[in-house]
């Protein structure tokens, strides 16, 4: 068994490994993004484990996060995962990182941690010196088909109500760089990175509210895990909160998602009550983040 850098020429084999190995996440559907996609900072290194000519495990490390690590079920119990984990740790250490965390890289994450149902993976990491970090992260799932609160008619009604208050509500243009700059100035973090990616969806996955040409609120989908219908980020400038803009933009995004998916996943949930009131919460997912000093 050998560990080597993984290239896109092996993407089909990597997808097969992820499809067989990842029971709690749809990693195979976003394999290219997770294994090779950029993050807000640092470089991304994909790694593969081979036995002869057969790819039996994959991993990717970006900055101070392990984005994904998976071993084909028929290759488990032979040290493949441990070898990939050690290679991820060595890669991060060589890049000057002093600690690693699991999955929750802002801007490009498979999930905001390891699904708490995946107790075997959590215990496996803990046996190797990894420790739980912070509180559980929460995602919620929203049904977007057959949901009376998610419809084009309701999106139009909410947009009309916003217009009556003096706001313009519309889909952002794919080349709307001013929006990325405005989000960067007001919110910062990884949000500008995700918004820029969401603008590149087809059609643009960002809806905005403006007043007098100035941005007042935005909401995005498919900026991360493109093609899976995930919602976020979203934000309203402080002076414009409480006026229904967030609701209007959320519903507009959910209508977009409903064209391709039955559910929308909202990651790193903040105001849970807001989502429940606007569209209803069908289910929840909880995630554990683990960390190890290097």
- Clarify whether residues 232 and 191 are in a common domain: yes
- Clarify whether residues 153 and 249 are in a common domain: yes
In three-state secondary structure terms, 277 is: helix
- Clarify whether residues 114 and 162 are in a common domain: no
Which residue segment(s) compose the domain that 17 sits in? 2-132
Q: Is residue 277 part of a domain?
A: no
Res 10: pLDDT: 98
- Clarify whether residues 48 and 163 are in a common domain: no
Final residue in a domain of this structure, among 80, 105, 132: 132
Q: For all residues of the chain together, what is the average pLDDT?
A: 97
Instruction: Taking residues 255-273, report their average pLDDT.
Output: 94
Q: Is residue 69 part of a domain?
A: yes
Q: Is residue 270 part of a domain?
A: no
Q: Is residue 285 part of a domain?
A: no
* Tokens read off for 40: 């807000």
User: Within a 13 Å sphere around the CA of 225, how many CA atoms are in the beta-carbon half?
Assistant: 27
Instruction: Taking residues 168-197, report their average pLDDT.
Output: 98
Final residue in a domain of this structure, among 132, 158, 187: 132
How confident is the model over 4-17, as pLDDT tens digits?
999 999 999 999 99
Domain count for the chain, please give it: 2
Confidence of residue 104 (pLDDT cuts 50, 70, 90): very high
- Clarify whether residues 182 and 207 are in a common domain: yes
- Clarify whether residues 128 and 161 are in a common domain: no
CATH number at residue 29: 3.40.630.30
Answer yes or no: are the C-beta atoms of 37 and 46 closer than 8 Å: no
pLDDT of 41 > 90? The answer is: no
Determine if the pTM surpasses 0.85: yes
pLDDT of 270 > 90? The answer is: no
Distance of CA 266 to CAs 72, 178, 229, Å?
A: 29, 25, 9
How confident is the model over 59-95, as pLDDT tens digits?
999 999 999 999 999 999 999 999 999 999 999 999 9
- Clarify whether residues 125 and 172 are in a common domain: no
- Clarify whether residues 11 and 112 are in a common domain: yes
How far apart CA 49 and CA 56 sit, in angstroms, is 6
- Clarify whether residues 159 and 199 are in a common domain: yes
- Clarify whether residues 200 and 112 are in a common domain: no
Final residue in a domain of this structure, among 109, 132, 155: 132
- Clarify whether residues 150 and 238 are in a common domain: yes
> Which residues make Cβ contacts (< 8 Å) with residue 147, sequence separation at least 6?
279, 280
């Amino acid at each position: 068994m050998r560990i080597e850098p993984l290239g896109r020429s092996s993407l089909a084999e990597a997808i097969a490994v992820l499809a067989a190995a990842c029971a709690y996440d749809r990693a195979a559907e976003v394999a290219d993004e997770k294994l090779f996609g950029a993050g807000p900072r640092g470089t991304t290194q994909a790694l593969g484990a081979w036995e002869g000519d057969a790819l039996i495990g994959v991993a990717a490390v970006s900055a101070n996060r392990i984005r994904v690590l998976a071993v084909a079920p028929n290759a488990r119990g032979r040290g493949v995962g441990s070898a990939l984990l050690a290679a991820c740790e060595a890669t991060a250490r060589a890049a000057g990182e002093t600690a690693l965390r699991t999955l929750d890289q802002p801007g490009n994450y498979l999930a905001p941690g390891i699904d708490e149902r995946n107790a075997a993976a959590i215990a496996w990491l803990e046996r190797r010196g990894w420790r739980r970090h912070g509180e559980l992260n929460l995602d919620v799932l929203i049904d977007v088909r057959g949901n009376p609160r998610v419809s084009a008619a309701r999106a139009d009604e909410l947009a009309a109500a916003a217009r009556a208050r003096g706001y313009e509500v519309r889909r952002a243009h794919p080349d709307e760089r001013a929006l990325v700059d405005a989000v960067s100035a007001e919110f910062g973090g990884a949000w500008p990175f995700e918004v820029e990616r969401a603008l590149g969806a087809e059609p643009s996955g960002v809806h905005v509210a403006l007043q007098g040409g100035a941005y007042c609120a935005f909401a995005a989908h498919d900026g991360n895990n493109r093609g899976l219908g995930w919602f976020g980020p979203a934000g309203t400038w402080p002076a414009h909160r409480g006026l229904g803009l967030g609701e209007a933009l959320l519903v507009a995004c959910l209508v977009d998602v409903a064209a391709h998916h039955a559910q929308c996943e909202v990651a790193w949930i903040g105001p849970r009550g807001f989502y429940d009131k606007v569209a209803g919460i069908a289910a929840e997912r909880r995630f554990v983040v683990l960390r190890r000093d290097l």
